[in-house]
Amino acid sequence: MSKKKKPSSNTIALNKKARHEYFLEDKFEAGVQLEGWEVKSIREGKVNLSDSYVILKNGEAYLLGTQIQPLNSASSHVVCDPERTRKLLLKKRELSTLIGKAEREGYTMVATALYWKKCWVKLEFYLAKGKKAHDKRDTIKDRDWQRQKERMLKHKV
């Protein structure tokens, strides 16, 4: 008899700061080219995605700023660089739209989540425009107003 595993969360790491710092527009999903020690560290949850972004170079997409800390039990003959540049696996059509928007329209590509999809590690990233300080204040003000509206409607009913 086989035991059924509990359905666990597929999310590995989130970049919560991205929604505060940027206007997120178009969502993309990409595979990440990883080494063996990186996959083992990801399974242990030793990933930091907070300052991650995507760059385009020579017609390919790369992930920068992601920290994957090596395990203490990592092999001694493998050189572990926690902040190495990792290649993203995208289709040609997706790459061409990213190149067009990033170069012509001035978008930034911000990594928002790292998660498991079956046995593969996937990166969710968005085409984004940076927010100014007054935009951030407006967002906070709108969120507070929505909360107050819900309270008022809740108390009236």
pLDDT digits (tens, 9 = 90+) for 10-45: 888 888 888 878 888 889 999 999 888 888 888 888
Res. 128 pLDDT band, cuts 50 70 90: confident
Query: Which three-class secondary structure string do you get for the chain?
Result: CCCCCCCCCCEEEECCHHHHHEEEEEEEEEEECCCHHHHHHHHHCCEECCCCEEEEECCEEEEECCEECCCCCCCCCCCCCCCCCEEEECCHHHHHHHHHHHHHCCCEEEEEEEEEECCEEEEEEEEEEECCHHHHHHHHHHHHHHHHHHHHHHHHC
pLDDT of 6 over the 70 cut? no
Asked if residue 52 belongs to a domain, the reply is yes
Asked if residue 137 belongs to a domain, the reply is no
CATH code at position 116: 2.40.280.10
> Is the distance from CB of 70 to CB of 81 less than 8 angstroms?
no
**pLDDT value of position 88:** 92
pLDDT digits (tens, 9 = 90+) for 82-123: 888 899 999 999 998 888 888 877 788 899 999 999 889 999
pTM: 0.74
Asked if residue 108 belongs to a domain, the reply is yes
CA distance 31 to 15: 17
pLDDT digits (tens, 9 = 90+) for 43-76: 888 898 888 889 999 989 999 988 888 887 766 6
Q: Which of 57, 43, 61, 65 is nearest to 112 (CA)?
A: 65
pLDDT of 141 over the 80 cut? yes
Average pLDDT over residues 125-135: 81
Asked if residue 6 belongs to a domain, the reply is no
**pLDDT value of position 1:** 47
CA distance 121 to 41: 12
Asked if residue 80 belongs to a domain, the reply is yes
Total domain count for the chain?
1
Handedness of CA 49, 53, 55, 60 (dihedral sign): positive
Asked if residue 145 belongs to a domain, the reply is no
pLDDT of 8 over the 60 cut? no
Alpha-carbon 7 to chain mean position: 22
Give the domain range for residue 91. Answer: 11-131
Asked if residue 147 belongs to a domain, the reply is no
Asked if residue 148 belongs to a domain, the reply is no
